[in-house]
């Protein structure tokens, strides 16, 4: 899978994804740490990447998707330590692998996750 990590996501998570064979990039690696959300979504759409973020603004995700195929994994965790975030990410990926590349928003919480297919009508 192809991932784009937002600034709130640890670079260690990106490195771990790469070690498992995924194509993952972090905004900081590309000097894009100040890229506006709208442009992050355009980049993800253009590069066919799944956004990893702690940004909770679901409304922006829908607005910026412009009905294009884009997926985002949004972390809403109490425990934001990197090992726990990685654990939750891999648990969720194994459960959503059949829909994640079709355009959806996955909200990840400490003990559960929700999937909303896009576009939401």
Q: Where are the domains of the chain?
A: 2-117
pLDDT of residue 41: 86
What confidence category does residue 62 fall into, taking pLDDT thresholds of 50, 70 and 90?
Answer: low
Check whether 56 has a pLDDT greater than 70.
yes
Cβ-contact 16, 86 below 8 angstroms: yes
- Indicate the CATH number of 2-117 among 1.10.3470, 3.10.150, 2.60.40, 3.40.50: 3.40.50
Residue 25 confidence (pLDDT): 97
Q: Which of 4, 83, 86 is nearest to 41 (CA)?
A: 4
pLDDT number for residue 9: 96
Strand 104-108 versus strand 113-117 pairing type: antiparallel
């Amino acid at each position: 899978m192809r991932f784009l990590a937002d600034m709130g996501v640890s670079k260690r998570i990106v490195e771990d994804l790469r070690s498992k064979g995924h194509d993952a990039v972090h905004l900081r690696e590309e000097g894009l740490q100040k890229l506006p959300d709208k442009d992050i979504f355009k980049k993800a759409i253009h590069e066919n990447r799944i956004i990893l973020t702690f940004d909770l603004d679901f409304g922006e995700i829908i607005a910026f998707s412009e009905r294009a195929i884009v997926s985002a994994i949004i972390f809403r965790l109490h425990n934001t330590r990197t090992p726990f975030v990685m654990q939750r990410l891999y648990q969720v990926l194994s459960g959503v692998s059949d829909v994640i590349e079709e355009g959806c928003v996955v909200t990840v919480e400490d003990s559960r996750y929700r999937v909303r297919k896009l576009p939401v009508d």
